[in-house]
Every structure is written in C-alpha cells, then in structure tokens.
Amino acid sequence: MTDLNHSSNNPQWQWRDGSSGSGYMQAVHHTTQPPLDIPTIRDTISTTLNGTPSTAELDTLLCLLRGHVALLIVEVEGLATPAHTTRTVATVATAELAISDARRKLHDSYTRGLASARQHAPRLARCARALLTHHHTLSETQAP
C-alpha cells in the first residue's frame, strides 16, 4: 500500500490505497489528538444562541453547525467506548443519549424558510454544546 501525506501542515492525515490496483483512495485519521477546533465551535454556538443572525449568516451558521455536530458525534463515540474511558456506565450512557439526540436533530428535515431555519439553528447549537461537554468529560477520563 502507498502512504502519502495529505498535507505537510497536518501530518495526522494520510491517504491509503483502498484496494490493489483500483486507484481508490480513502482518508485514514490517526488520532494522536482530536481534530476539533473547539474555540471555533464555541464561537459558532455562541453566535447562534446569543444573537440574532442575519438571513445571510443563518445559512452559513447552519452549515457550520451541521459540520461541527457531525465531527463531535464521531469524536464522542470514540471516547465513549469502554477501552477509552474509565467513567461510569451512567456517564457513557448519557453521552450515548446525546449522540442519538444529535443524530436525530442533524437529520431532521426542516422546510426551507427563514422561520424554520431560525428554529433549527439553536437546536443544532444546543446539540453541539452538549456534545462538547461530553467530549470534555470523556477526554479527561481516558484510560492509559
């Protein structure tokens, strides 16, 4: 298999041949540290929940929130596995409930329109905030 650095700025990401001779490439992430930009996620949550975004900002915020929630789901799921945490079953179960809720809200369809988007954005922001809390809690208790 051929390994190529995806970017010299981020050596954590490498490309690998998916199958011999097909030329298909897939990204494989080596988790030496979380690929989350937590300050940016917090800023997006704050902008969504504490302000009244303009119509132009709303579409951008929704796209950012969807991306943040999708990344957080993957990260929290990884941290909630028994091999990665020393937390109680209740803590892990609560994180799994938050993941389930976030998935549902991520895939909730909303009608195209300003009023619907204004209702959906805070829901996604609250999901992102909850997942960040679980990420923080589970990160502190990673097993060696």
Task: Check whether residue 133 and residue 63 sit in a common domain.
Answer: yes
Predicted TM-score of the model (pTM): 0.71
Alpha carbon distance, N-terminus to C-terminus of the chain: 30
Higher pLDDT pick, 36 / 50: 50
Count of domains for the chain? 2
* Model pLDDT, residue 13: 36
9 in the same domain as 45:
no
pLDDT for the residue 114: 81
Same domain, 52 and 6: no
pLDDT of residue 127: 96
The band of 101, judged by pLDDT with boundaries at 50, 70 and 90, is very high
Mean pLDDT of 97-118: 84
pLDDT at 84: 62
* DSSP codes of every residue in 28-90: EE--SS----HHHHHHHHHHHHHS---HHHHHHHHHHHHHHHHHHHHHHHHHTSGGGB-S-HH
Q: Based on the domain organization, do 42 and 20 belong to the same domain?
A: no
What pLDDT sits at residue 18? 39
Q: Which of 125, 132, 121, 130 is nearest to 75 (CA)?
A: 132
User: Is 63 found in the same domain as 125?
Assistant: yes
For the chain, what percent of residues have pLDDT higher than 70? 67
pLDDT of amino acid 3: 38
User: 52: pLDDT confidence band, cut at 50, 70 and 90?
Assistant: confident
Same domain for 64 and 96:
yes
Shared domain for 74 and 97, answered yes or no, is yes
Q: How confident is the model at residue 53 (pLDDT cuts 50, 70, 90)?
A: confident
Q: Are 24 and 63 within one domain?
A: no
Q: Is pLDDT above 50 for 81?
A: yes
Q: What letters, b where the CB count within 10 A reaches 16 and e where it falls short, cover 53-89?
A: beeeebeebbebbbebbebbbebbbebbeeebbebee
Note down the domain range covering 27. 1-32
110/133 same-domain check: yes
Please indicate, yes or no, whether residues 98 and 61 belong to a single structural domain of this protein.
yes
Please indicate whether residue 82 or residue 20 has the higher confidence score (pLDDT).
82
Same domain? For 65 and 107 the reply is yes
50 and 23 housed in the same domain: no
Give the mean pLDDT of 47-59: 89
